[in-house]
Structure 1
Amino acid sequence: MSGSCDRGFTLIEVVIALTIIAVAFSVLLETLSFASSKYEEGLRTFETMLLLDGKLKRRDHEGLKVKRTKVPDFPAIEEVVYSYGGLFFVRYEQR
């Protein structure tokens, strides 16, 4: 049997390679799942921000929480905080 050469992989080498590929795919899928959830969260935040912006531009304060406070160091200026959902917009007005 001189001259015969076995070319190929052993079973253990194939199993190890498949295990490495499986671990890589599981990490990839976990990362994609995390990115997808962050995308959905960002999309909801953006839509809420657009709604808040539209309400402020139309001067429609229905459904908004409006908090007015005096700025201590500047008595002629008032801080107005408009909030909707988890977002808020701060505006400073001169009295």
Structure 2
Amino acid sequence: MCGTCRGFTLIEVLIALSILALGFSVLFELLASAQREYQLSKMLYEDITLLSNAILENKLDKVGVRERSLKDYPNIKEVELTYGNAVIYIYRR
């Protein structure tokens, strides 16, 4: 600003607007990322709920089941149950 002028120069206004635009672009990217993460967590929650209900009701026809022995503990079996993106591991003898 000049000593006798009242107000801002054009360059000061442009710099302020560019800083404001940069801040808004970062804010919008964060909001978009948060929305994507929310959708992914919502889908995973729904898959886990359906998988848990299928296990409780013993309806494993739509559930992927994979059983294997553990390398270091051959007497323990690992059962992997999958539905969509949800995975539950059960360990048994």
TM-score (norm 2): 0.83
Q: How far apart are the structure 2 equivalents of 1:45 and 1:7?
A: 58
Distance 2:8 2:65 in 1: 71
User: Which runs of 5 or more residues in structure 2 are unaligned?
Assistant: none
Q: Could you say what the CA RMSD is over the residues aligned between the two structures, in angstroms?
A: 1.6
Q: Does 1:54 align with 2:79?
A: no
The 1:6–1:52 alpha-carbon spacing in structure 2 relative to 1, beyond 3 Å, is same
Structure 1 segments unaligned to the other structure (5+ residues): none
Task: Give the total of aligned pairs.
Answer: 89
Identical aligned residues as a percent: 35
Higher fraction of strand: 1
Asked if 1:70 is matched to 2:69, the reply is: yes
1:30 deviation in Å? 0.8
Q: Which has the higher contact order (CA 8 A, sep 6+)?
A: 2
TM-score, normalising length from structure 1? 0.81
Aligned-partner residue type, residue 82 of structure 2: S
**Over residues 52-78 of structure 1, what are the superposed CA-to-partner deviations in whole Å (9 max), with x where a residue is unaligned?**
011101111011111222345343x43
Matching residue of 2:38: 39
Whose radius of gyration is greater, 1 or 2?
Answer: 1
